Amino acid sequence: MAGKWLEAMGGGLRPAAANERSERQQWWDYARGAAAGLLEGKAPPPVQVYGPVLNRRETAYFSATANYARLWGGDGTYTTTGLLALGNPAFMVGAFAASGYINHRRKAAARRDAQVRWREQQRVGLIATSHRLLVNTAERGWLTFTYGAVTEYYPDIQNGALTLGFGEQCVPLLLSGPPAVPACVLVSAAVAPDTWDQDPRLAPLLA
């Protein structure tokens, strides 16, 4: 198991490791250490974070940068255009053809927008705490995803990804990259405290 946990690096925090090890290996070792500690009833060591204010009795465990996306589709609506064409017949035919082309393009774009797919893809700041995941997006700033709001979760530690569903509360969230691996551990332990260590999806971290 990972012997060291964290070391301060500038304004953020990263798992402590030798320089020759890859970022992925560092986070993998951190996740294994977190899992081992949680199995013994020990929470990961707390770290100090700056920016978002934590709640009382809330502890930050790590701060990182990850890939972010949300799963949703548009409503498929669009507006049509009707050109008022006055003039000779040739001009009017051309104007109507242009109007039809514009409306066709808008309809096709609306159909594409209605498709459910991963959107808002970007690099974000990620803070994992004892109660939630905090994600700092470019458009909306810090967003909160509490463990208690999770209705389904899909850890994919081999590919460094975590997908969370929240029922009717908000659209699904995808986090990917090396820090998603320890996030898988923390979310799993919080959502399924009595059975998370039996989850086959986490088995490589528990071996």
51-68 residues labelled b (16+ CB within 10 A) or e (exposed): eeeeeeeeebbbbbebbb
CATH topology of domain 6-72+118-206: PH-domain like (2.30.29)
pTM: 0.74
In this prediction, residue 82 has a pLDDT band, given cuts at 50, 70 and 90, of low
For the chain, residues classed under CATH 2.30.29.30 are 6-72+118-206
Q: If you average pLDDT over residues 169-192, what whole number do you get?
A: 97
Spatial distance between the Cα atoms of 137 and 84, rounded to a whole number of angstroms: 44
34-74, pLDDT tens digit by residue?
A: 999 999 999 999 999 999 999 999 999 999 999 999 998 86
> What pLDDT score does 21 carry?
64
